[in-house]
Chain A
Amino acid sequence: MKKLVLGLYAIATVALMIWGFYQAMYVAPDDALQGYIFRIIYYHVPSASVAFVFFAVSLFGSIGYLTFRRGNHDRAQIADAWALAGAEVGVVFCTVVLLTGPIWGRRAWGIWWTWDARLTTTLVLWLIYVSYLLLRRFAAGPQMQTLAAVLGVFGALDVPIVYMSNRWWRTQHPAPVFGGDPGSGMKDPAMLAAFGWNMLAWFAWGIFVLILRYNVERKHQQYAEQEAEEALAANL
């Protein structure tokens, strides 16, 4: 039953991705100022939104782990698996943002990169979560999960700074298309529809990958626990 639901969800996600691609490339008009290159927005911005939400998942997972680690082992492990899944899938989406942004910038601004507030804070956010994943990969011992959870909590503090950066400091990156000054937002209904479909499609894809990553981590935890129990029994 679980496999059937996941399979149906995967099919719906692929259908949404195809529809989103069609809307972005063939239905939405060119931007009046930037022309065709503006279409990068249909996967650059949704990828950033998914990354932010998944870093929030990692934050709540980390808080959950720190809350339950002494009292409820199972809940703590579940929370830790969500924290890891959120951080890892968030890094994948954040990498997409950091790679597609410069491609857009090269055509729109004439430069690949600049140390502007939005770009720099996003790079710092990516570095924080890459260090979180490296800590989980290479640190050993029972304190690893606790250290990772603390880093997960502090790392998430950069998310609101990234979100607000192009509101607080007006540098190279454009002002927010949504939620910015009065009058901001897409005016063309076809552009708005393409943006909405792509947002939905990328969130559907992100959730699909997040659930897979969570399940892989739970399996890994269960295997590691059984191994530890067997080793303990052999020593007794």
Chain B
Amino acid sequence: MSQADILDHQFVTAAYIITWVLQLGYLAWLGLKWRSEKRNAEQRQKRG
């Protein structure tokens, strides 16, 4: 395997990792936002 092949492989891997970190990070943030909305609704119900 040449130096160029190793670099290509590293760059493709880096791009894939960046893609999934962004996608899963956003999904996790959405999950937290969903939980927060749910908690707000429950607290309002308790008050009401």
Taking a contact as CB atoms under 8 Å apart, the answer to whether B37 and A107 are in contact is: no
Is A95's CB within 8 Å of the partner chain B?
yes
Taking a contact as CB atoms under 8 Å apart, the answer to whether A103 and B30 are in contact is: no
Taking a contact as CB atoms under 8 Å apart, the answer to whether B26 and A47 are in contact is: no
Interface positions of A from 13 to 51, Cβ below 8 Å from B: 35-37, 39-40, 43-44, 47
Q: A216-B37, A219-B38, A223-B41 are in contact. Are A47 and B12 (CB under 8 A)?
A: no
Cross-chain contact of B8 among A35, A215, A223, A230 (Cβ < 8 A): A35
> How many residues of B are in contact with the other chain, CB < 8 A?
25
> What are the residues of chain A within 8 A of B12 when measuring CB–CB?
36-37, 39-40
Q: A36-B8, A37-B8, A40-B12 are in contact. Are A96 and B44 (CB under 8 A)?
A: no
| Chain B nearest Cβ from A42, distance in angstroms | 10
Taking a contact as CB atoms under 8 Å apart, the answer to whether B34 and A212 are in contact is: yes
Chain B contact residues: over half helix, strand or loop, or mixed?
helix
> What are the residues of chain B within 8 A of A106 when measuring CB–CB?
11
Is A207's CB within 8 Å of the partner chain B?
no
> What are the residues of chain A within 8 A of B40 when measuring CB–CB?
223
Cross-chain contact of B18 among A39, A96, A209 (Cβ < 8 A): A96
- B33-48 interface bits toward A, Cβ cutoff 8 Å, 1 = contact, 0 = none: 1100110110010001
A contact residues vs B (CB 8 Å cutoff): 35-37, 39-40, 43-44, 47, 89, 92, 95-96, 99-100, 103-104, 106-107, 205, 209, 212-213, 215-216, 219-220, 222-223, 226-227, 230
Q: A35-B4, A43-B16 are in contact. List 6 more A-B contacts (CB 8 A).
A: A35-B8, A103-B14, A209-B23, A212-B34, A219-B38, A220-B37
